A = this chain, B = another copy of it.
Amino acid sequence: MQPRTHVTLEDVARAADVSLATASRALNGTRVTPHLRDRVLAAAEQLAYTPNAHARALAGASHRTVGVICHDVSDPYFAAVAGGVMRVAGDNDLLVMLASTFRDPEREIAYVSMLRAERAPAILLIGSGFEDPRWERALEAELKPYLDGGGRVAVVSRHRSLRVDSVLPENRAGAAAMARALLELGHRRFAVLTGPPMLTTVADRLGGFRDELKKAGVTLAVTDIVEGPFTRDGGYGAMSELLARGLEATCVFALTDVMAIGACAALRDHGLSVPNDVSVAGFDDIPAVRDLTPPLTTVALPLQQLGEKAMELALTENTGRRRRIHRMGGEVVIRASTAKLT
Protein backbone atom coordinates (compact mmCIF):
# COMPACT_ATOMS: atom_id res chain seq x y z
CA MET A 1 0.00 0.00 0.00
CA GLN A 2 1.28 3.41 -0.98
CA PRO A 3 0.71 5.68 1.97
CA ARG A 4 -0.17 8.81 0.12
CA THR A 5 -0.84 11.16 2.95
CA HIS A 6 -1.89 9.99 6.32
CA VAL A 7 -3.19 11.98 9.18
CA THR A 8 -0.54 11.78 11.84
CA LEU A 9 -0.44 12.64 15.47
CA GLU A 10 1.46 15.71 14.53
CA ASP A 11 -1.45 16.92 12.44
CA VAL A 12 -3.76 16.41 15.34
CA ALA A 13 -1.40 18.21 17.69
CA ARG A 14 -1.14 21.12 15.34
CA ALA A 15 -4.88 21.31 14.87
CA ALA A 16 -5.41 21.26 18.61
CA ASP A 17 -2.53 23.67 19.10
CA VAL A 18 -0.72 21.51 21.61
CA SER A 19 2.53 19.64 21.57
CA LEU A 20 2.87 16.20 20.10
CA ALA A 21 3.48 14.76 23.53
CA THR A 22 0.30 16.21 24.92
CA ALA A 23 -1.69 14.91 21.99
CA SER A 24 -0.30 11.45 22.56
CA ARG A 25 -1.14 11.60 26.24
CA ALA A 26 -4.62 12.86 25.60
CA LEU A 27 -5.32 10.02 23.20
CA ASN A 28 -3.92 7.45 25.59
CA GLY A 29 -5.70 8.58 28.69
CA THR A 30 -2.69 9.78 30.61
CA ARG A 31 -3.24 12.80 32.82
CA VAL A 32 -3.88 15.90 30.80
CA THR A 33 -5.92 18.98 31.62
CA PRO A 34 -9.52 18.20 30.61
CA HIS A 35 -9.66 21.32 28.55
CA LEU A 36 -6.71 20.35 26.39
CA ARG A 37 -7.77 16.75 26.22
CA ASP A 38 -11.11 17.70 24.76
CA ARG A 39 -9.46 19.86 22.19
CA VAL A 40 -7.18 17.02 21.12
CA LEU A 41 -10.00 14.51 21.00
CA ALA A 42 -12.10 16.85 18.95
CA ALA A 43 -9.27 17.47 16.52
CA ALA A 44 -8.58 13.75 16.20
CA GLU A 45 -12.22 13.06 15.55
CA GLN A 46 -12.46 15.83 13.06
CA LEU A 47 -9.41 14.69 11.12
CA ALA A 48 -10.45 11.02 11.24
CA TYR A 49 -7.16 10.25 12.85
CA THR A 50 -6.11 6.60 13.29
CA PRO A 51 -2.89 5.94 15.12
CA ASN A 52 -0.38 4.05 13.08
CA ALA A 53 -0.18 0.67 14.73
CA HIS A 54 3.32 0.16 13.50
CA ALA A 55 4.68 3.34 14.91
CA ARG A 56 2.87 2.67 18.12
CA ALA A 57 4.19 -0.85 18.41
CA LEU A 58 7.65 0.33 17.54
CA ALA A 59 7.49 2.89 20.25
CA GLY A 60 6.70 0.27 22.80
CA ALA A 61 2.96 -0.18 23.03
CA SER A 62 1.61 -3.72 22.75
CA HIS A 63 -1.18 -4.98 20.59
CA ARG A 64 -4.25 -6.92 21.39
CA THR A 65 -4.46 -9.16 18.37
CA VAL A 66 -3.46 -12.77 18.72
CA GLY A 67 -2.79 -15.04 15.78
CA VAL A 68 -4.25 -18.49 15.25
CA ILE A 69 -2.74 -20.75 12.64
CA CYS A 70 -4.54 -23.89 11.56
CA HIS A 71 -4.53 -26.22 8.60
CA ASP A 72 -7.80 -25.15 7.09
CA VAL A 73 -10.42 -22.92 8.66
CA SER A 74 -13.12 -24.30 6.41
CA ASP A 75 -12.68 -27.70 7.98
CA PRO A 76 -15.37 -27.96 10.68
CA TYR A 77 -12.85 -29.43 13.07
CA PHE A 78 -10.67 -26.34 12.99
CA ALA A 79 -13.65 -24.05 12.81
CA ALA A 80 -14.92 -25.48 16.07
CA VAL A 81 -11.58 -25.28 17.84
CA ALA A 82 -11.07 -21.76 16.58
CA GLY A 83 -14.51 -20.93 17.90
CA GLY A 84 -13.33 -21.89 21.37
CA VAL A 85 -10.23 -19.77 21.02
CA MET A 86 -12.30 -16.78 19.99
CA ARG A 87 -14.68 -17.17 22.86
CA VAL A 88 -11.93 -16.91 25.44
CA ALA A 89 -10.12 -14.23 23.49
CA GLY A 90 -13.29 -12.19 23.33
CA ASP A 91 -13.70 -12.45 27.07
CA ASN A 92 -10.22 -11.05 27.43
CA ASP A 93 -10.79 -8.19 25.07
CA LEU A 94 -8.46 -9.58 22.45
CA LEU A 95 -8.97 -9.66 18.72
CA VAL A 96 -8.21 -12.86 16.84
CA MET A 97 -6.89 -13.32 13.35
CA LEU A 98 -6.95 -16.74 11.71
CA ALA A 99 -4.70 -18.19 9.06
CA SER A 100 -4.94 -21.36 7.01
CA THR A 101 -1.80 -23.19 5.99
CA PHE A 102 -3.50 -25.88 3.89
CA ARG A 103 -1.03 -28.26 5.49
CA ASP A 104 1.88 -26.59 3.81
CA PRO A 105 4.75 -26.40 6.29
CA GLU A 106 6.32 -23.52 4.47
CA ARG A 107 3.21 -21.47 4.66
CA GLU A 108 2.90 -22.34 8.31
CA ILE A 109 6.33 -20.96 8.96
CA ALA A 110 5.57 -17.91 6.87
CA TYR A 111 2.60 -17.10 9.09
CA VAL A 112 4.51 -17.67 12.28
CA SER A 113 7.24 -15.47 10.97
CA MET A 114 4.78 -12.77 10.10
CA LEU A 115 3.07 -12.91 13.46
CA ARG A 116 6.42 -12.90 15.13
CA ALA A 117 7.57 -9.96 13.09
CA GLU A 118 4.42 -8.13 14.05
CA ARG A 119 5.09 -8.91 17.66
CA ALA A 120 1.68 -10.43 18.23
CA PRO A 121 1.18 -11.12 21.93
CA ALA A 122 0.35 -14.77 21.33
CA ILE A 123 0.42 -17.39 18.61
CA LEU A 124 -1.74 -20.50 18.67
CA LEU A 125 -0.98 -23.43 16.42
CA ILE A 126 -3.94 -25.69 15.82
CA GLY A 127 -3.61 -29.05 14.19
CA SER A 128 -1.37 -31.99 13.74
CA GLY A 129 2.33 -31.53 13.33
CA PHE A 130 4.43 -33.06 10.60
CA GLU A 131 6.24 -36.34 10.78
CA ASP A 132 9.23 -34.90 9.02
CA PRO A 133 11.42 -33.63 11.87
CA ARG A 134 13.00 -31.13 9.54
CA TRP A 135 9.87 -29.02 9.48
CA GLU A 136 9.27 -29.26 13.16
CA ARG A 137 12.82 -28.15 13.80
CA ALA A 138 12.43 -25.24 11.43
CA LEU A 139 9.24 -24.27 13.20
CA GLU A 140 10.86 -24.62 16.58
CA ALA A 141 13.69 -22.40 15.42
CA GLU A 142 11.17 -19.82 14.32
CA LEU A 143 9.30 -20.02 17.59
CA LYS A 144 12.27 -19.98 19.92
CA PRO A 145 13.25 -16.32 19.51
CA TYR A 146 9.61 -15.38 19.68
CA LEU A 147 9.27 -17.09 23.03
CA ASP A 148 12.54 -15.60 24.21
CA GLY A 149 11.20 -12.22 23.27
CA GLY A 150 8.24 -12.71 25.56
CA GLY A 151 5.77 -14.08 23.05
CA ARG A 152 3.31 -16.72 24.20
CA VAL A 153 2.63 -19.87 22.26
CA ALA A 154 0.19 -22.72 22.74
CA VAL A 155 -0.60 -25.58 20.44
CA VAL A 156 -3.50 -27.95 19.98
CA SER A 157 -2.91 -31.45 18.78
CA ARG A 158 0.73 -31.06 17.98
CA HIS A 159 3.05 -32.97 20.19
CA ARG A 160 6.36 -34.75 19.92
CA SER A 161 8.53 -32.00 18.67
CA LEU A 162 7.35 -28.63 19.87
CA ARG A 163 8.25 -27.86 23.43
CA VAL A 164 5.47 -25.46 24.27
CA ASP A 165 2.25 -25.54 26.24
CA SER A 166 -0.05 -28.03 24.60
CA VAL A 167 -3.58 -29.27 24.47
CA LEU A 168 -3.63 -32.81 23.22
CA PRO A 169 -6.68 -34.73 22.07
CA GLU A 170 -6.47 -38.38 23.06
CA ASN A 171 -5.88 -39.59 19.54
CA ARG A 172 -4.24 -42.87 20.31
CA ALA A 173 -6.42 -43.80 23.26
CA GLY A 174 -9.55 -42.67 21.45
CA ALA A 175 -8.77 -44.79 18.41
CA ALA A 176 -8.05 -47.74 20.67
CA ALA A 177 -11.36 -47.25 22.44
CA MET A 178 -13.10 -47.15 19.10
CA ALA A 179 -11.42 -50.43 18.13
CA ARG A 180 -12.72 -52.05 21.30
CA ALA A 181 -16.21 -50.69 20.72
CA LEU A 182 -16.32 -51.97 17.17
CA LEU A 183 -14.97 -55.37 18.18
CA GLU A 184 -17.65 -55.51 20.79
CA LEU A 185 -20.23 -55.00 18.09
CA GLY A 186 -18.95 -58.17 16.55
CA HIS A 187 -16.89 -56.79 13.69
CA ARG A 188 -13.73 -58.66 12.79
CA ARG A 189 -12.84 -57.38 9.37
CA PHE A 190 -12.06 -53.67 9.17
CA ALA A 191 -11.06 -51.11 6.63
CA VAL A 192 -9.45 -47.81 7.53
CA LEU A 193 -9.63 -44.53 5.64
CA THR A 194 -6.45 -42.75 6.54
CA GLY A 195 -5.01 -39.33 5.86
CA PRO A 196 -1.69 -37.86 4.76
CA PRO A 197 1.02 -39.95 6.45
CA MET A 198 3.08 -36.85 7.02
CA LEU A 199 0.74 -35.84 9.84
CA THR A 200 1.42 -37.12 13.32
CA THR A 201 -2.30 -37.41 14.03
CA VAL A 202 -2.56 -40.03 11.34
CA ALA A 203 0.12 -42.15 12.94
CA ASP A 204 -1.47 -41.82 16.36
CA ARG A 205 -4.98 -42.69 15.37
CA LEU A 206 -4.03 -45.42 12.97
CA GLY A 207 -1.51 -46.83 15.41
CA GLY A 208 -3.94 -46.77 18.31
CA PHE A 209 -6.59 -48.50 16.26
CA ARG A 210 -4.30 -51.13 14.79
CA ASP A 211 -2.56 -51.96 18.03
CA GLU A 212 -5.80 -52.46 19.84
CA LEU A 213 -7.09 -54.74 17.12
CA LYS A 214 -3.89 -56.71 17.30
CA LYS A 215 -4.40 -57.24 21.00
CA ALA A 216 -7.66 -58.89 20.09
CA GLY A 217 -5.98 -61.02 17.49
CA VAL A 218 -7.34 -59.08 14.57
CA THR A 219 -4.85 -57.84 12.01
CA LEU A 220 -5.38 -55.02 9.61
CA ALA A 221 -4.32 -55.94 6.09
CA VAL A 222 -2.36 -53.31 4.19
CA THR A 223 -4.91 -53.50 1.44
CA ASP A 224 -7.60 -52.56 3.91
CA ILE A 225 -5.98 -49.23 4.56
CA VAL A 226 -6.61 -46.55 2.00
CA GLU A 227 -5.16 -43.11 2.07
CA GLY A 228 -6.75 -39.86 1.02
CA PRO A 229 -6.68 -36.21 1.94
CA PHE A 230 -8.46 -35.20 5.13
CA THR A 231 -11.46 -33.87 3.25
CA ARG A 232 -14.96 -34.96 2.39
CA ASP A 233 -13.88 -35.72 -1.15
CA GLY A 234 -10.82 -37.49 0.16
CA GLY A 235 -13.08 -39.81 2.11
CA TYR A 236 -15.32 -40.28 -0.90
CA GLY A 237 -12.37 -41.16 -3.09
CA ALA A 238 -10.79 -43.52 -0.62
CA MET A 239 -14.06 -45.32 -0.04
CA SER A 240 -14.66 -45.57 -3.76
CA GLU A 241 -11.27 -47.12 -4.21
CA LEU A 242 -12.01 -49.62 -1.51
CA LEU A 243 -15.30 -50.49 -3.16
CA ALA A 244 -13.67 -50.83 -6.56
CA ARG A 245 -11.28 -53.34 -5.10
CA GLY A 246 -14.17 -55.28 -3.65
CA LEU A 247 -14.89 -54.43 -0.06
CA GLU A 248 -14.60 -57.32 2.33
CA ALA A 249 -14.68 -55.39 5.59
CA THR A 250 -17.90 -55.14 7.56
CA CYS A 251 -16.84 -51.92 9.18
CA VAL A 252 -15.02 -48.83 7.93
CA PHE A 253 -13.15 -46.56 10.30
CA ALA A 254 -12.35 -43.13 8.93
CA LEU A 255 -9.66 -41.22 10.76
CA THR A 256 -11.74 -38.06 10.68
CA ASP A 257 -15.45 -37.35 10.59
CA VAL A 258 -15.04 -35.28 7.49
CA MET A 259 -13.66 -38.28 5.65
CA ALA A 260 -16.40 -40.44 7.11
CA ILE A 261 -19.01 -38.14 5.62
CA GLY A 262 -17.46 -38.64 2.20
CA ALA A 263 -17.30 -42.38 2.79
CA CYS A 264 -20.99 -42.53 3.59
CA ALA A 265 -21.75 -40.64 0.39
CA ALA A 266 -19.65 -43.06 -1.65
CA LEU A 267 -21.36 -46.02 -0.03
CA ARG A 268 -24.76 -44.56 -0.76
CA ASP A 269 -23.82 -43.80 -4.36
CA HIS A 270 -22.69 -47.37 -4.64
CA GLY A 271 -26.07 -48.60 -3.54
CA LEU A 272 -24.94 -49.79 -0.14
CA SER A 273 -26.71 -49.03 3.09
CA VAL A 274 -25.10 -47.74 6.27
CA PRO A 275 -25.15 -49.53 8.64
CA ASN A 276 -27.04 -52.49 7.17
CA ASP A 277 -24.40 -53.36 4.60
CA VAL A 278 -21.42 -51.62 6.12
CA SER A 279 -20.83 -49.90 9.44
CA VAL A 280 -18.99 -46.56 9.41
CA ALA A 281 -17.22 -44.81 12.24
CA GLY A 282 -15.36 -41.53 12.37
CA PHE A 283 -13.27 -39.42 14.70
CA ASP A 284 -13.69 -35.89 16.11
CA ASP A 285 -17.43 -35.57 16.59
CA ILE A 286 -17.80 -32.42 14.55
CA PRO A 287 -21.26 -30.91 14.94
CA ALA A 288 -22.36 -31.87 11.43
CA VAL A 289 -22.27 -35.62 11.99
CA ARG A 290 -25.35 -35.54 14.16
CA ASP A 291 -27.35 -34.37 11.19
CA LEU A 292 -26.11 -37.15 9.00
CA THR A 293 -28.43 -39.97 8.09
CA PRO A 294 -27.66 -42.14 9.90
CA PRO A 295 -25.90 -40.12 12.59
CA LEU A 296 -22.25 -41.06 12.80
CA THR A 297 -20.58 -43.20 15.42
CA THR A 298 -17.39 -41.42 16.33
CA VAL A 299 -14.75 -40.60 18.89
CA ALA A 300 -15.83 -37.41 20.58
CA LEU A 301 -13.39 -34.56 21.12
CA PRO A 302 -14.48 -31.47 23.03
CA LEU A 303 -13.50 -29.29 20.10
CA GLN A 304 -14.57 -25.97 21.48
CA GLN A 305 -12.91 -26.68 24.80
CA LEU A 306 -9.70 -27.64 23.06
CA GLY A 307 -9.52 -24.12 21.71
CA GLU A 308 -10.60 -22.51 24.94
CA LYS A 309 -7.97 -24.33 26.91
CA ALA A 310 -5.27 -23.44 24.45
CA MET A 311 -6.14 -19.76 24.63
CA GLU A 312 -6.16 -19.95 28.40
CA LEU A 313 -2.74 -21.54 28.40
CA ALA A 314 -1.44 -18.79 26.19
CA LEU A 315 -2.96 -16.18 28.45
CA THR A 316 -1.62 -17.45 31.74
CA GLU A 317 2.00 -17.40 32.69
CA ASN A 318 3.61 -20.77 33.02
CA THR A 319 5.13 -20.56 36.46
CA GLY A 320 6.50 -24.08 36.47
CA ARG A 321 9.63 -25.09 34.69
CA ARG A 322 8.02 -27.68 32.47
CA ARG A 323 5.66 -27.10 29.62
CA ARG A 324 2.01 -27.66 30.48
CA ILE A 325 0.11 -30.41 28.73
CA HIS A 326 -3.62 -30.94 28.82
CA ARG A 327 -5.06 -34.14 27.43
CA MET A 328 -8.71 -34.10 26.53
CA GLY A 329 -11.49 -36.13 24.99
CA GLY A 330 -11.43 -39.46 23.29
CA GLU A 331 -14.75 -40.95 24.28
CA VAL A 332 -16.54 -43.21 21.88
CA VAL A 333 -20.06 -42.18 20.95
CA ILE A 334 -22.08 -44.93 19.38
CA ARG A 335 -24.71 -43.68 16.99
CA ALA A 336 -26.66 -45.30 14.21
CA SER A 337 -23.94 -45.61 11.59
CA THR A 338 -22.57 -48.73 13.21
CA ALA A 339 -24.58 -51.92 13.57
CA LYS A 340 -24.14 -54.99 15.67
CA LEU A 341 -22.89 -57.84 13.55
CA THR A 342 -25.18 -60.78 14.08
- Chain A residues within 8 Å of B, Cβ to Cβ: 1-7, 48, 50-58, 62-63, 65, 67, 73-74, 76, 79-80, 82-83, 86, 95-100, 102, 107, 110-111, 113-114, 116-122, 141-142, 144-146, 148-152, 232, 261-262, 264-265, 287-288, 290-293
Q: Which residues of chain B are within 8 angstroms of A98 by Cβ–Cβ distance?
A: 73, 97-100
Q: From A65, which residue of chain B is reached at the shortest CB distance? A: B114
- Other-chain contact of A86, B100, B117, B120, B290 (Cβ < 8 Å): B100
- A99 contacts B95, CB within 8 Å? yes
Give the number of copies in the complex: 2
CB of A254, distance to nearest CB on chain B (Å): 14
Bound-complex Cα distance A224 to B291 (A): 25
Given A54-B58, A99-B96, A144-B79 contact (CB < 8 Å): no
CB of A76, distance to nearest CB on chain B (Å): 7
- B232 contacts A291, CB within 8 Å? yes
Given A76-B74, A261-B291, A264-B291, A3-B113 contact (CB < 8 Å): no
Q: List 25 A-B contacts (CB under 8 A).
A: A1-B120, A1-B121, A1-B149, A1-B151, A1-B152, A2-B150, A3-B119, A6-B145, A50-B117, A50-B142, A50-B145, A55-B58, A65-B114, A74-B76, A74-B82, A76-B76, A79-B79, A95-B110, A95-B111, A98-B99, A232-B291, A261-B291, A264-B291, A265-B290, A291-B292
